Chain A
């Protein structure tokens, strides 16, 4: 199957600090990865599409300078929440598209960020 991992699974940080979340495709190379944010009892909200070797495409309303995305290799994308504030607390989920397969995304287990 297609396995996607995220690290860390849970992080607590102080307001003003930066937090990096890693998303890895473990058994396939992913040219495209996605980052979502999920608020409690809500559906997923797409933040950005991450393409290997190029700049990420951000959805309307998502601050590029606050949510830095890097997709440096075919198996790793990172999301850095810069100068985090309590309103950035959320559940962040990444996904990856498996090349050559059906047009579907495989999801990581998510990272719960709490900013104090």
Chain B
């Protein structure tokens, strides 16, 4: 089955810094999603991005489907950005193949 790998596993930054999180997937997929799980456990949909680039405020994501990777950019980090960022590949309808996540800590 499809393997999804995320890097780095942990990231500690000062408030205001920028960061790039990476997601590699081993096979073609219908879709690629990014989620943020806040410290209380709530999962928030960030991007639904099978290919190309999308931006939402300080966050943007780029998926290069032909090279099987996706990047999540966070600019001007805030403490509220802390949590775990997951990417999930969608090989078929409804099925999510999760990466192990990147734990991000933003220090004030």
Contact = CB atoms under 8 A, between A and B. Distances in A.
A110 B41 contact: yes
A43 B99 contact: yes
Interface in A100-115: 102-107, 109-110, 112
A44 B98 contact: yes
Contact of A46 (B42, B86, B90, B96): B96
B44 to A, nearest CB: 8
Contacts of A97: 94
Interface residues of A, number: 22
B59 interface: no
B100 interface: yes
Contact of A104 (B33, B42, B86, B100): B33
B101 interface: yes
Nearest to A93: B43
Contacts of B35: 107
Interface in B39-98: 40-45, 48, 86, 90, 93-94, 96, 98
Most buried by B among A38, A42, A97, A105: A105
Contact of B41 (A34, A41, A91, A95): A91
Chain A binding surface, main DSSP class: strand
Interface in A5-40: 32, 34, 38
B41 A103 contact: no
A34 B43 CA distance: 14
Most buried by A among B93, B96, B99, B100: B96
A43 B98 contact: yes
7 contacts: A46-B96, A91-B41, A102-B31, A103-B31, A103-B90, A107-B35, A109-B40
Given A43-B100, A109-B42, A110-B41, 13 more contacts: A32-B94, A42-B100, A43-B86, A43-B101, A44-B98, A49-B94, A103-B93, A104-B45, A105-B94, A107-B43, A109-B40, A109-B41, A110-B43
